[in-house]
């Protein structure tokens, strides 16, 4: 998944969750892109250039252990990380979900390559949901 797909998914999830305050929404959205801090060209990794040199992409920051640690710091952050992991499981390269076991896991049936057509379709669908939620929740527009 591209970073824009992850951040759109994070924003959409944050807005769909009831009774979430602004800091929690921000943390969930941050969590949705945080695991890619291990990639030098990612939205977060480019701001912390030392980490992509130390960490293997889709390794420890893409593990359930990392999600649990983030959840322990602040639950919405951990939920955002978990959302990122779920989306990256769709990537054919897989993620080291059970790190330190280095076996990469991906979904066996549906795969979505980062930057591919399905990545764009997913991102567009998420934008439609996000726009619908914003129109309904903040502007009072009713679709039903
Ligand atoms: Zn990732």
Phi, psi of 139, rounded to the nearest 5 degrees: -110, 0
CA of 87 to the centre of ligand 1 (A): 8
Rg (Cα) of the chain, in Å, rounded? 15
Which pLDDT does position 139 carry in this prediction? 87
CA of 1 to the centre of ligand 1 (A): 7
pTM summary value: 0.91
Tell me what the mean pLDDT of segment 39-56 comes to: 89
Beta bridge partners of 105: 95
| Arithmetic mean of pLDDT over the chain | 93
CA of 57 to the centre of ligand 1 (A): 8
Comparing 77 with 111, the larger pLDDT belongs to 77
CA of 117 to the centre of ligand 1 (A): 18
Of 137, 56, 45, 135, give the one whose Cα is nearest residue 94. Answer: 56
CA of 65 to the centre of ligand 1 (A): 15
Which pLDDT does position 1 carry in this prediction? 86
């Amino acid at each position: 998944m591209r970073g824009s797909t992850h951040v759109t998914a994070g924003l959409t999830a944050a807005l769909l969750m009831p009774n979430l305050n602004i800091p929690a929404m921000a943390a969930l959205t941050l969590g949705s892109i945080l695991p890619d801090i291990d990639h030098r060209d990612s939205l977060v990794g480019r701001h912390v250039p030392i980490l992509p040199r130390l960490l293997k992409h889709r390794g420890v920051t893409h593990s359930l252990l990392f999600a649990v640690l983030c959840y322990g710091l602040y639950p919405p952050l951990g939920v955002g990380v978990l959302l990122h992991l779920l989306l990256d499981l769709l990537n054919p390269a897989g993620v080291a979900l059970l790190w330190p076991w280095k076996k990469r896991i991906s979904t066996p049936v549906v795969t979505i390559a980062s930057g591919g057509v399905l990545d764009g379709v997913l991102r567009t669908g998420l934008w439609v949901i996000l726009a619908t939620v914003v129109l309904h929740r903040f502007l009072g527009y009713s679709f039903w």
